[in-house]
A = this chain, B = another copy of it.
Amino acid sequence: MSSNNRIKVGVIGAGAIATHCHIPAYQALPDVEVVAVADATPGRAQEVAGKFGIARAFTDYRDLLAVDGLKVVSICSPNAFHAEQTIAALEAGINVLCEKPMAIAYDDAVRMVDTAKRTGKLLMIGMTNRFREDIQAMRQYAVDGLLGEIYYMKAGWLRRSGIPGYGSWFTNKKLSGGGSLLDIGVHFLDMALWIAGFPKPLAVTGATFAKFGPSGKALGGWGADIFRTGKQVFDVDDLATAFIRLENGAVLTLEVSWAAHVGEFGENYLRFLGTEGGMETASRFDKHYSVRYYSERHDHQYDQQLQVSAGDKNHWVEIAHFIDCVKGSAEPLVTFEQSLTVAKVLDGIYRSAELGREVAL
């Protein structure tokens, strides 16, 4: 395909998620061209543009949105800018793939969706974990009715030592809106609800803690380490736990940590208990996943195990899917309504943690 016919993509925010995932994933597609990158840090966009052979670099994302013929932007900036930048891109007639979390406040998420609906442009939130092979399989198990009625769900990701220090915005509430819950909890909440068919959440009770971050302990490998410079800002959660009541009577419990005294390198899991069967996945990202299914046959306990690959290319699959949506050959796997529901639950967990009591959604 000639350069002129390629889908022109811009990337706003040139941090690790842009350079490790979005930019290479777009560049792996033959009919896509990343034509511009923007980052508010002086020189950062230029550096990344040089490294990836991207023609144009900006410090002001509004200059990027003015690039002629731009069809898609990825929003890879700190969470606090997602809403403003997404809305500006949609208003400029550009389709948006926005990194998680959607926004730092539910009201912002609503404005994003309203703008997408009004402009008719695509907006998809980067729930990249839905594209994991085990999660796709589990969704199919549920769709196929192998679980019957799902009444109890658990989802969690407990990192032992994984506080992101990237430029420290992750741990600065003004820029991030929240800590471990918004950063990684969002994925497990979304996966659990999606696999279960997005039953409506009615109420949440939650609690958040910050027992490691304020002292600069348990720093992870993501991003730059500025904790030991004495300039650290840490006013977000490093552990969150929640109990979520769903309209169909089911309950979902969620737990997440950036840092905690747990075994090995931590753990992540999803479990679904249904009337006809149960299933779970528990894995580390550098190993194979196993999806285990439990039921009964002929009055005996009956187990299945499905081995799938580790799937470290989820962003690649997600971005290829989003480009298919832009081309009109697919519908976004992550819908407006689902993204709003997730944003509402996250907002509710933080409110509940602050109030110290259950809140209705």
Instruction: Flag A251-275 by CB within 8 Å of B: 1 or 0 each.
Output: 1010101001111000000010111
Contact of A151 among B161, B209, B294, B358 (CB under 8 A): B209
A239 at the B interface (CB under 8 A): yes
Looking at the assembled complex, report how far the CB atom of A160 sits from the nearest CB atom of chain B, in whole angstroms. Answer: 6
- A207 in contact with B245 (CB, 8 Å): yes
Tallying the copies of this chain within the complex gives 2
A339 at the B interface (CB under 8 A): no
- A251 in contact with B241 (CB, 8 Å): yes
Residues of B within 8 A of A211 (CB): 149, 151, 275
Residues of B within 8 A of A245 (CB): 205, 207, 356
A129 at the B interface (CB under 8 A): no
**Which of A195-234 touch B at CB < 8 Å?**
203, 205, 207, 209, 211, 217
Contact of A294 among B262, B296, B301 (CB under 8 A): B262
A277 at the B interface (CB under 8 A): yes
- B356 in contact with A239 (CB, 8 Å): no
Looking at the assembled complex, report how far the CB atom of A261 sits from the nearest CB atom of chain B, in whole angstroms. Answer: 3
Query: In whole angstroms, what is the CA distance A355 to B330 when docked?
Result: 43
Query: In whole angstroms, what is the CA distance A58 to B262 when docked?
Result: 53
Instruction: Flag A154-176 by CB within 8 Å of B: 1 or 0 each.
Output: 10000011000000000000000
A278 at the B interface (CB under 8 A): yes
- A274 in contact with B301 (CB, 8 Å): no
A152 at the B interface (CB under 8 A): yes
Residues of B within 8 A of A294 (CB): 160, 261-263
Query: In whole angstroms, what is the CA distance A303 to B161 when docked?
Result: 14
- B263 in contact with A209 (CB, 8 Å): no
- CB-nearest residue of chain B to A360: B357
Residues of B within 8 A of A261 (CB): 147, 273-274, 276-279, 294-296
A81 at the B interface (CB under 8 A): no
| Chain A interfacial positions (CB closer than 8 Å to B) | 147, 149, 151-152, 154, 160-161, 203, 205, 207, 209, 211, 217, 239, 241-243, 245, 249, 251, 253, 255, 257, 260-263, 271, 273-280, 292, 294-296, 301, 303, 356-358
Given contacts A203-B357, A260-B278, 20 further A-B contacts (CB under 8 A): A147-B261, A151-B211, A152-B209, A152-B241, A152-B255, A152-B260, A205-B243, A205-B245, A205-B358, A207-B245, A207-B249, A243-B243, A243-B253, A257-B273, A260-B273, A261-B273, A261-B277, A261-B295, A263-B294, A357-B358
Name 5 interchain pairs, CB-CB below 8 A, sorted by A. A160-B294, A260-B273, A261-B278, A261-B294, A262-B271
